A and B are shown apart, each in its own frame.
Chain A
Amino acid sequence: MIPTLLVISIISFALIQLPPGDIIESTLQDLQQQGHRVSAEQIETLRVMYHLDDPLVVQYFRWITGFVRGDMGYSIVYQQSVNRLIGERVLLTMLIAISSLLLTWVLALPIGIYSAVKQYSPLDYLFTVFAMLGMAVPSFMLALLVMYGAHQWFGISIGGLFSPEYMDASWSPARLMDLMKHIWAPAVVLGVAGTASMVRVMRANLLDEINKPYVIAARARGVRPVTLILKYPVRIAINPFISTIGWTLPAIFSGSAIVSVVMDLPTTGPLLLNALMVQDMYLAGSFILILSTLTVIGTLISDLMLAVVDPRIRHE
């Protein structure tokens, strides 16, 4: 695991530095957009101050030695430590991501099972159409439509997690209501995208299993259909989901960058997007390394869970 992470850290560091230009030019953008004059000397000084004139290898070591000690460095764009920046947003990101994941699973599994069992029924066709639409429509497009619909028909303010009146207010039942009114939109948008594909995969896997001889034999012996389906074929069909469950870990941490930008959510996704665009080394590099670590850990968790759920793997 460690060698993998080390290689990932080197690759991400190199990739971030690759595009032309550097962070200093982008930092000064804000100042310059307001018309302040920025001289070439000021740029050089900033470059020295942030150690950007050191050779790449030195910069890399400075970053990685800090990282393993828990110090993720300093964001030049936001002028704050990376730890603080990410920490501020992590809770909300996790909240939105977990609710969308739960939504996905709660919707996708029953629908998938139903579609497989009642194959070619009218409801199956209906679900298939929605699944195809969900997979085809880009999530940010869906985000825009949902926000527009929410505003037109329910009067919910566009973007963000609170209406302007409640942004600054203290916690109260009304403020909680306002939060609920806003948070369903991101959860739905993010959830729907995943639901569609999950439904199709579940359906396909289950169809494979349902026609196996053991199922027919069990039916013939009078086992109740619902118990039968849930106890045997579903447990086999659910294999692929367990093995990818580990990858939800990084997803929870990073949220979806583009949807968050469109819906103006203060999550970690837009933070990463912006950091990559301006080549904010510490922020972008640390973020990617965290995501990679979570992926590796998640894969480990998946393997373990699979061993628990599937006896065949245990006995190998």
Chain B
Amino acid sequence: MAVKSFSPIIIALLFLQTWAHGSGRIPRDAWPESWFAAPKTASELGITNFHESPMLAEQAGAGTLPPLRNRLPDDPFVIEPAERTGKYGGTLRCFTRDVDAVRGIEPPLTMDPEVSIVLPNLASGWKYSEDARTLTLSLRQGLRWSDGHPFTSAAFVFWHQHISLNKELTPAQSLRWQGASVTAEDALTVSFRFLDPHPYFAAELAHHGDVFYAPGHFLKDFHTDFVAKEVIDARVKEEEFMSWAAYFNSVRANRMAEPNGVPVMYAYTLTRKSPTLQVWERNPFYPKIDPEGNQLPYMNRIQVMMVENKEVIAAKTATGQVHFSGNSIETQDIALFKMGQRANNYRTYVWNRIYGVDVVIQPNLTCLDPELRDMFRDFRFRKALSFAINREEINTIVYFGRATPRQTTVIPSSRFFEPEFADAYIEYRPDEARRLLDEMGIQDRNIDGIRERHDGKPLSITLEFFDFETPKGITMELVSEYWRDIGIQLNLKQVAPGLQGSRARANQMEMTLWHADRTSDILFPSEPFWFVPMHNSWEECHWPLWSTYYLSDGERGEAPPPQLQQLVDWWREMTTIQDAGRRIELGKKILRSHAENLWTIGTLGLSPKPVVVHNSLHNIPVRGYWGWDNRWTLPYHPETWFIE
């Protein structure tokens, strides 16, 4: 009883004690040094004895599986665990949205823990041609799909010829892929040829390269290029799908009513599913080993509980019902998890979000309301909005003081980063904000606390947003108070995700929010959503007309002013030249433009994010970055996690 009444004090002490850790960039010694370089192979380390899990040894002994040496590639590559060598066995329990994080993703290339360097994975290396228009991947010898079939360059060719170029499966190819070709030089070498130089293709391969290959030997039975259309149509009707494309995509993604055994390269394959449960079992042909020659993964099974509701997930996580929980639990829940961790036998790691800022405030510079649009376009207004926000106070209230107040820009470990980009206009200067608004002529004439616009109407802005993943709602409630203090009325309006998409794209919002993902080196160069008007989707609504102009080649939307057209030109140059130095220079020019002009307004970033780990689960790094940029856990090697 006495312990219980002291626990709030203990929690408070814990937070004070870890105050010092709150500054954003995680030191490199949080992870094994080997994770920052190409993985070594068995022959390089002199490993000649390989071992497999008892579960597989039994099957190999009985003859239902080939022996281990035939299942591993010719020279398996070695992944060093974060803590120690694991033990075979165990079933990991997690929730639906954590499947990718736990089961892993196997792109041909991968990335380092700081999400900055591209490293080999299924491919042992890659090479650019002289003009950077062609990238050639060298695959490792002897790789196999989860059904034992060899994994070769044919997998990439199949994807390109029968999926990417198929009009029904891919109705509209992205600009980059038009006129591109994928050729298999030989079984282990595949070349991607683009019309324009594509220096960042390697980064794309590291991030989502797993979509660029497909098990042709299995999928051709479901493809109209190989099977008569009548046969396929009959099957589509029988399985009750609306179209062949829907049917094929479901087969490829293993989303049918029953698992269909489609071959994968993951560490686990889907073996069972029901409305409440999915079960994944180890892949006997997985090509990686640990430094002692044990074939990975260590765990036998992943049991996925299909729970969608966020609060239910938080409640179940807090009562220790899963071994790992990361997705769907948020900063606000950290205290809840810390409270329950001793009684329920788990620990709460606090990772950092890899987002440049958690809340990107986007005034719509192409807003339909002319008064608001002119005000937003005036730099003094955006400066005032930024100065009026008390980021330190938000840090204390929302993030337990552990986030970093910063402007919207790339993360510190990026090679494009300069400290002045993050420090631009983040001081709390409400008086300066008021002075700027006064200077613009926006006064409060009727002394009701809210300034009037030039047309006499009260200065009221409607902010529509979809509140998920980062604490947007709470942050904006505080921000609306700060802005009210300087005479601006902010109306917060939460919208359903469908509406967020349709309204943002259609330029119908006055202001919206998102979290600044794509601010690491892996994604920033190809997808600088916040910094260049080149994308029009549910995340952005600060310049939809200008983005549409770029995307439609000038047919729709509105031509951006020269200053912003310059950004588009810099970006196009940056992504199509070979000179690495010049690319960095251009990237920094783009980021500098944002820091000097505040196209968006940032709040705080690199924020604490809970990752709940059961006491029986090991080899998960205590610190890490969590976010889309690194596919949640890709650089942290989930195949080395084990239960004991």
- The segment from B364-372, B401-409, B498-506 that touches chain A is B498-506
Known pairs A32-B501, A81-B240, A84-B240; A159 contacts B537 (CB<8 A): no
* A21 contacts partner chain B, Cβ-Cβ < 8 Å: yes
> Is the pair A33, B501 in contact by a Cβ cutoff of 8 Å?
no
* A29 contacts partner chain B, Cβ-Cβ < 8 Å: yes
Considering the complex, which residues of chain B in the window 479-534 have a beta carbon less than 8 Å from any beta carbon of chain A?
Answer: 496-499, 501-502, 505, 517, 527
> Is the pair B240, A80 in contact by a Cβ cutoff of 8 Å?
yes
> Is the pair B171, A160 in contact by a Cβ cutoff of 8 Å?
no
Chain A residues near B336 (CB, 8 Å)?
A: none
* A40 contacts partner chain B, Cβ-Cβ < 8 Å: yes
**Residue from B255, B275, B499 within 8 A of A25 (CB atoms):** B499
Chain B residues near A29 (CB, 8 Å)?
A: 497-498, 501
* B174 contacts partner chain A, Cβ-Cβ < 8 Å: yes
Q: Mark B452-475, 1 if CB is under 8 A from A, else 0.
A: 000000000000000011000000
> Is the pair B316, A159 in contact by a Cβ cutoff of 8 Å?
yes
Please give the distance in Å from B630's CB to the nearest CB on chain A.
11
Chain A residues near B245 (CB, 8 Å)?
A: 49
* A277 contacts partner chain B, Cβ-Cβ < 8 Å: yes
Please give the distance in Å from A235's CB to the nearest CB on chain B.
44
Considering the complex, which residues of chain B in the window 266-282 have a beta carbon less than 8 Å from any beta carbon of chain A?
Answer: 275-277, 279
* B379 contacts partner chain A, Cβ-Cβ < 8 Å: no
* B93 contacts partner chain A, Cβ-Cβ < 8 Å: yes
What is the bound-complex CA distance between A67 and B581, given in angstroms? 64
- Greatest chain A CB density within 10 A among B497, B536, B628 is at B497
A-B pair number, CB within 8 angstroms? 118
Known pairs A168-B277, A264-B312; A22 contacts B498 (CB<8 A): yes
> Is the pair A164, B241 in contact by a Cβ cutoff of 8 Å?
no
**Residue from B208, B277, B309 within 8 A of A261 (CB atoms):** B309
> Is the pair B537, A79 in contact by a Cβ cutoff of 8 Å?
no
> Is the pair B312, A262 in contact by a Cβ cutoff of 8 Å?
yes
> Is the pair B174, A35 in contact by a Cβ cutoff of 8 Å?
no
* A125 contacts partner chain B, Cβ-Cβ < 8 Å: no
Residue of A nearest to B517 (CB): A35
Known pairs A157-B321, A159-B315, A164-B321; A32 contacts B537 (CB<8 A): yes
- Greatest chain A CB density within 10 A among B100, B279, B496, B498 is at B498
* A34 contacts partner chain B, Cβ-Cβ < 8 Å: yes
Q: Mark A88-99, 1 if CB is under 8 A from B, else 0.
A: 110000000000
What is the bound-complex CA distance between A39 and B241, given in angstroms? 23
Known pairs A26-B498, A35-B517, A164-B93; A159 contacts B240 (CB<8 A): no
Please give the distance in Å from B171's CB to the nearest CB on chain A.
4
* B161 contacts partner chain A, Cβ-Cβ < 8 Å: no
Please give the distance in Å from A246's CB to the nearest CB on chain B.
29
> Is the pair B502, A74 in contact by a Cβ cutoff of 8 Å?
no
- Chain A: interface residue count, which band? 35 or more
Please give the distance in Å from A22's CB to the nearest CB on chain B.
7
> Is the pair B497, A25 in contact by a Cβ cutoff of 8 Å?
yes
What is the bound-complex CA distance between A36 and B537, given in angstroms? 11
* B246 contacts partner chain A, Cβ-Cβ < 8 Å: yes
* B622 contacts partner chain A, Cβ-Cβ < 8 Å: no
Chain A residues near B277 (CB, 8 Å)?
A: 167-168
> Is the pair A160, B174 in contact by a Cβ cutoff of 8 Å?
no
> Is the pair A50, B309 in contact by a Cβ cutoff of 8 Å?
no
Chain B residues near A167 (CB, 8 Å)?
A: 276-277, 303, 305
**Residue from A26, A79, A157, A264 within 8 A of B309 (CB atoms):** A264
* A250 contacts partner chain B, Cβ-Cβ < 8 Å: no
What is the bound-complex CA distance between A41 and B556, given in angstroms? 14
Please give the distance in Å from A168's CB to the nearest CB on chain B.
6
Please give the distance in Å from B317's CB to the nearest CB on chain A.
10
* B307 contacts partner chain A, Cβ-Cβ < 8 Å: yes
Chain A residues near B30 (CB, 8 Å)?
A: none
Known pairs A39-B174, A158-B319, A264-B307; A28 contacts B242 (CB<8 A): no
Known pairs A80-B257, A266-B275; A32 contacts B538 (CB<8 A): yes
- Chain B: interface residue count, which band? 35 or more
Considering the complex, which residues of chain A in the window 234-281 have a beta carbon less than 8 Å from any beta carbon of chain B?
Answer: 261-262, 264, 266, 277-279
* B172 contacts partner chain A, Cβ-Cβ < 8 Å: yes
What is the bound-complex CA distance between A23 and B537, given in angstroms? 16
> Is the pair B505, A26 in contact by a Cβ cutoff of 8 Å?
no
* A141 contacts partner chain B, Cβ-Cβ < 8 Å: no
> Is the pair A41, B498 in contact by a Cβ cutoff of 8 Å?
no
**Residue from A45, A151, A278 within 8 A of B172 (CB atoms):** A45
Known pairs A20-B502, A49-B246; A37 contacts B527 (CB<8 A): yes
Known pairs A74-B240, A80-B240, A164-B322; A20 contacts B250 (CB<8 A): no
* A42 contacts partner chain B, Cβ-Cβ < 8 Å: yes
Please give the distance in Å from A94's CB to the nearest CB on chain B.
15
Known pairs A79-B246, A277-B496; A40 contacts B502 (CB<8 A): no
Known pairs A80-B240, A167-B303; A21 contacts B499 (CB<8 A): yes
> Is the pair A25, B316 in contact by a Cβ cutoff of 8 Å?
no
Chain B residues near A81 (CB, 8 Å)?
A: 240
Chain B residues near A218 (CB, 8 Å)?
A: none
Chain A residues near B129 (CB, 8 Å)?
A: none
* B243 contacts partner chain A, Cβ-Cβ < 8 Å: yes
**Residue from A41, A50, A160, A266 within 8 A of B242 (CB atoms):** A50
What is the bound-complex CA distance between A262 and B311, given in angstroms? 8
Chain A residues near B628 (CB, 8 Å)?
A: 34-35
Chain A residues near B502 (CB, 8 Å)?
A: 20-22, 25
Residue of B nearest to A157 (CB): B321
* A38 contacts partner chain B, Cβ-Cβ < 8 Å: yes
Considering the complex, which residues of chain A in the window 139-169 have a beta carbon less than 8 Å from any beta carbon of chain B?
Answer: 147, 151, 157-161, 163-164, 167-168
Chain B residues near A161 (CB, 8 Å)?
A: 276
Residue of A nearest to B167 (CB): A45
What is the bound-complex CA distance between A264 and B275, given in angstroms? 12
What is the bound-complex CA distance between A189 and B497, given in angstroms? 31
Chain A residues near B551 (CB, 8 Å)?
A: 40
> Is the pair A157, B319 in contact by a Cβ cutoff of 8 Å?
yes
Please give the distance in Å from B621's CB to the nearest CB on chain A.
22
Known pairs A40-B536, A157-B316; A74 contacts B242 (CB<8 A): yes
What is the bound-complex CA distance between A296 and B275, given in angstroms? 30
> Is the pair A158, B315 in contact by a Cβ cutoff of 8 Å?
yes
- Greatest chain B CB density within 10 A among A49, A84, A160, A264 is at A264
Considering the complex, which residues of chain A in the window 27-79 have a beta carbon less than 8 Å from any beta carbon of chain B?
Answer: 28-29, 32-42, 45, 49-50, 74, 79
Residue of B nearest to A80 (CB): B257
Q: Mark B244-271, 1 if CB is under 8 A from A, else 0.
A: 0110001000010100000000000000
> Is the pair A159, B307 in contact by a Cβ cutoff of 8 Å?
yes
**Residue from B91, B242, B275 within 8 A of A49 (CB atoms):** B242
Chain B residues near A28 (CB, 8 Å)?
A: 501
CB-based closest 4 A-B pairs: A41-B172, A25-B498, A35-B628, A81-B240
Name 14 extra pairs, CB < 8 A, besides A21-B502, A157-B321: A23-B498, A29-B501, A32-B501, A37-B537, A39-B174, A79-B255, A84-B257, A88-B275, A158-B321, A160-B307, A164-B303, A168-B303, A266-B275, A266-B276
The 5 listed contacts between A and B (C-beta, < 8 Å) are A35-B628, A84-B240, A158-B321, A159-B307, A167-B303
List chain A positions with a Cβ less than 8 A from chain B: 20-23, 25-26, 28-29, 32-42, 45, 49-50, 74, 79-81, 83-84, 88-89, 147, 151, 157-161, 163-164, 167-168, 261-262, 264, 266, 277-279
List chain B positions with a Cβ less than 8 A from chain A: 91, 93, 100, 171-172, 174, 208, 240-243, 245-246, 250, 255, 257, 275-277, 279, 303, 305, 307, 309, 311-312, 315-316, 319, 321-322, 468-469, 496-499, 501-502, 505, 517, 527, 535-538, 551, 628
